[in-house]
Amino acid sequence: MIIRYILASSIPVVFVAALSSPVALATDSESARQEVAQALQRTPNVENGKRAYKVCAVCHLPEGWGGEDGYYPQIAGQIRQVTIKQLADIRARNRDTPTMFPFATLYILSVQDIADVAAYLEQLPMSPHNGLGPGTDLEHGKRLYKKYCAECHGEKGEGYAKEKMPLIQGQHYRYLVRQFEWIGDGKRRNADQEMVEQIQGFSKRDVSAIMDYVSRLRPPLQKLASPGWRNPDFPKFVRDPGFSMGRVSQM
């Protein structure tokens, strides 16, 4: 296991513990649903969310912005209820995310931590420079988005808390394309069935155009970080300027 850079001295221990002990946790949708319900009932503690986020920052960065190449998604600014559902799904193996799975186990995140880290992420400002698509087919993308997606994800991709519809505005283009394909292929077993059926009718051109359009939907100004912003909660984070992707190169 090679970690290109780490946040705090305690993390390697956590890493090893997490990787060497694949714990049997909630393994089906029903237990994930129960966990979501429990986490939603907890009163979120943002201070504890910050503590719980420390280990996540290794990949998602202290700002929660992930990478413009889309390997790591932006998770800052996401609706709290959506993050809770995704974390419960990741640890119930309803999503195939081998890189992240060890970090979603109970060793790392209690139900309270899930509630807290989701609240912490919701209040983080979003990246002003997410990864965009080629920009060559935006009219087509806009037309398809308005016709097929806006009803659920919102005109501006802002999502809906109550329905746990993800906010998708300002997300990295390549992450969006990958998730869309995986949802269509059934790799995300937590997905919305109506959306899965819809996706199967799109061509590659359609998907690229829609996601390009989505990646350019700007979050409102009050949700965006100012240029050059760095998360002051993690002043000791070591950044490697020459390194952009695959921070954890072997696991």
**Total of residues contacting ligand HEC (CB under 6 A):** 42
Based on CB atoms, which residue is closest to ligand HEC, 119 or 227? Answer: 119
Distance CA 144, CA 164 (A): 22
Which letter does DSSP use for residue 161 in this model? T
Kindly state the smallest distance separating residue 199's Cβ from ligand HEC, in Å. Answer: 7
Among 117, 119, 126, 209, binds ligand HEC (CB under 6 A): 117
Which letter does DSSP use for residue 21 in this model? -
Does position 115 interact with ligand HEC (CB under 6 A)? The reply is: no
Does position 168 interact with ligand HEC (CB under 6 A)? The reply is: yes
Distance CA 115, CA 84 (A): 6
Window of 39-47, 128-136, 189-197, 215-223 that interacts with ligand HEC by CB under 6 A: 189-197
Based on CB atoms, which residue is closest to ligand HEC, 191 or 225? Answer: 191
Distance from chain centroid for Cα 168: 10
Based on CB atoms, which residue is closest to ligand HEC, 141 or 226? Answer: 141
Contacts of 19 by beta carbon, 8 Å cutoff, 6+ apart = 1, 102, 251
How crowded is the C-beta side of 160, counted as CA atoms within 13 Å?
Answer: 10
Distance CA 199, CA 29 (A): 22
Among 7, 62, 83, 119, binds ligand HEC (CB under 6 A): 83
Q: One-letter amino acid identity for 78?
A: Q
Based on CB atoms, which residue is closest to ligand HEC, 180 or 225? Answer: 180
Radius of gyration of the chain (CA): 18
Window of 19-27, 36-44, 52-60, 128-136 that interacts with ligand HEC by CB under 6 A: 52-60
Based on CB atoms, which residue is closest to ligand HEC, 46 or 100? Answer: 100
Q: One-letter amino acid identity for 54?
A: K
Nearest 10 degrees: CA dihedral of 166, 170, 176, 177?
150
Contact 84, 36 (CB under 8 A): yes
Q: One-letter amino acid identity for 72?
A: Y
Does position 165 interact with ligand HEC (CB under 6 A)? The reply is: yes
Distance CA 137, CA 177 (A): 15
Based on CB atoms, which residue is closest to ligand HEC, 175 or 227? Answer: 175
Among 32, 109, 209, 217, binds ligand HEC (CB under 6 A): 109
Contact residues for ligand HEC (CB under 6 A)?
55-56, 58-60, 72-73, 75, 83, 85-87, 95, 97, 99-100, 103, 108-109, 117, 148-149, 151-153, 165-166, 168, 176, 178-180, 188, 190-192, 194-195, 198, 210, 214, 248
